[in-house]
Each structure stands twice: as structure tokens, then as C-alpha cells.
Amino acid sequence: MKEETISIGELISILKRNKGTIISLTVIAALISFLVSSFIIQPTYEASTQVLVAPKETQNNMIDSSQVQSSVALVNTYRVIIQSPTILEQVQDNVTGSPENISNLITVNSEQNSQVINIKVQHTNPVLATDIANEISTVFSTEVSELMSGVDNVKVLSAASVPANPVKPNILLNTAIATVLGAMIGIAIAFLKVVLDRRIKTEQDVETVLELPVLGSIPVIDRNEMRAARKNGVEMKGERAHV
């Protein structure tokens, strides 16, 4: 059997014949994603606070570069301490309505070679997210001195404020992704219909699929046209089915 190829013109023709299916699936996917993101998925809010790991000043009110490097080196240790049960259990006890597992709500990070630690809390309740974030920074700055044997170089740089807008779900992004996926599925279905359709319809199909020459054709006459021709006594010239 000869290898089958599809030209660009045939690809465009396939897309045109199935444009209804492609457009329908695209619109349906976008609409479902929009409705789910808008009305079913509960919005999530994010509150953030910052903690500064500051080196102590000397008697001359000067800060040694070695102290700065020491503070930067401590940031990674402090990030671990912030997420430890020692801190989070106190926060859970102090904040009314806080969930049992706060560790799943918080993200602690810092920029490279930075003395600032960012604490972010995500929750469906914006007020609760803010209370947890502020309580974490407060408890940590208070407890770190005892945990680190007298080291007192942590200050709350900025307190969290109640977020007005949710960070999740991203309705526009979700809808855009669903639109693309819907279009891709529609296009895939259009090409599958062509690939899986093994019916022989034209002379070219006979020669390509069966590798046989066309010896003749049988005229195909439409039933309605045949009735009309009988009434008018006119010989029909029908389309020809090839064999």
C-alpha cells in the first residue's frame, strides 16, 4: 500500500469541514473553566510579612561586614526555625480559628544574599491569613533569642495587611488554558475522523488504497431527480460512482 500524505490544502479543508466541532468544543471548554473558576473554586488570599535579620551595631555604631555575612548565613537556619513545630504550635494556640496544620499554609523564602525573610500565608479567609502571618513573625522574633542562645538580631520589618484581592484561582489564565485545550481537542477529533475513515469515495481513493486502476463508473441518480425526470420524460444525467 502506498504511503498516504496530506497536503496543506487538505489540512485546511479538514479544518473547514469540522469548524463547527472545533468552535463548539473551544467555547464549551472556556465556558466550563470560567464558571468553575468563578463560582465553584473558593478564592484563596495571601498575606505576607517580612522579618529582618540585622547584625548588632558595635560601640562606634558601626556594622562590621563579617557580621553582615554572619546574618546572611543565619537566614537559612531561621527559615527552618520559622516552619518548625516550636513556632507554629504557639501560633496555632494564639490565633483563634487557625487550622490544625498551619505548615501547609505558609511559604518562607528569601532572596539570595539577603537578610530579609519573607513569610507568606495563604487561606480562604483573608483576615485569618493576615493574623497567622503577623503572629508567626511576632512569635519567631520573640522566641529566636532563646532558641539561639541569646542571639537577638531579628526584627519585624513589615506587618501583614488584609489582602483585598485573591491570588487564586486565576480566572483569566484558567479560561485561556481551557480555550487552547478545547481547540486542540477539536482539531484532534477532526483529524481522527479523517484517519479512521477508511471508506472509498473517489477514483483517487481506489487508486491509492486498493492500488487498482479505475475501469468504469456507474451513474448515481438522486431519487427526487429521478421522479422529476419520469414526470418530464427527461433522461437523467446523474453523478457517477466509480468502481
Q: What CATH number does the domain containing 119 carry?
A: 3.30.70.1130
Residues 77 and 138 in one domain: yes
Is 164 inside any structural domain?
no
| The predicted structure's pLDDT at residue 170 | 94
Residue 224 lies in a domain: yes
Q: Is the pLDDT of residue 191 over 70?
A: yes
Over residues 9-14, mean pLDDT? 84
Same domain, 138 and 209: no
pTM reported for the whole predicted model: 0.71
Task: Report the first-to-last Cα separation within the chain, whole angstroms.
Answer: 18
Distances (CA, A) of 171 to 34, 99, 184, 195: 6, 26, 20, 36
Average of per-residue pLDDT values in the chain = 83
Percent of the chain with pLDDT over 90: 51
Q: Are residues 54 and 149 in the same domain?
A: yes
How much is the pLDDT for 242?
A: 44
Model pLDDT for residues 79-134, shown as the tens digit of each residue: 999 999 999 999 999 998 888 889 999 999 998 888 899 999 999 999 999 999 99
Same domain as 59, residue 33 = no
pLDDT classification of 216: cutoffs 50, 70, 90: low
In a domain, 180, yes or no: yes
Please determine, for residue 44, whether its predicted confidence score (pLDDT) is greater than 50.
yes
- Largest Cα–Cα distance of the chain, in whole Å? 120
Counting residues of the chain whose pLDDT is more than 70, the rounded percentage is 77
**Are 154 and 220 within one domain?**
no
Name the residue range of residue 189's domain.
1-41+169-197
Cβ contacts of 102-111, under 8 Å, gap ≥ 24: 102/132, 105/129, 105/132, 106/82, 106/132, 106/133, 106/136, 108/79, 108/82, 108/83, 109/79, 110/75, 110/79
180 and 125 in a single domain? The answer is no
Q: Residue 49 pLDDT > 70, yes or no? A: yes
* pLDDT average, residue stretch 10-38: 93
Helices of type H across the chain: 8-17, 19-35, 65-82, 85-94, 126-147, 171-196, 203-205, 223-232
Residues 131, 216 within the same domain: no
Q: Is residue 124 part of a domain?
A: yes
In this prediction, residue 240 carries a pLDDT of: 47
Residue 163 domain-assigned? no
pLDDT, residue 84, reads 94
State the average pLDDT over residues 33-56.
92
Query: Could you give the number of structural domains in the chain?
Result: 3
The answer, yes or no, to whether residue 241 has pLDDT greater than 60, is no
Alpha carbon separation from 148 to 48, 69, 77, 238 (Å, rounded): 24, 17, 10, 96
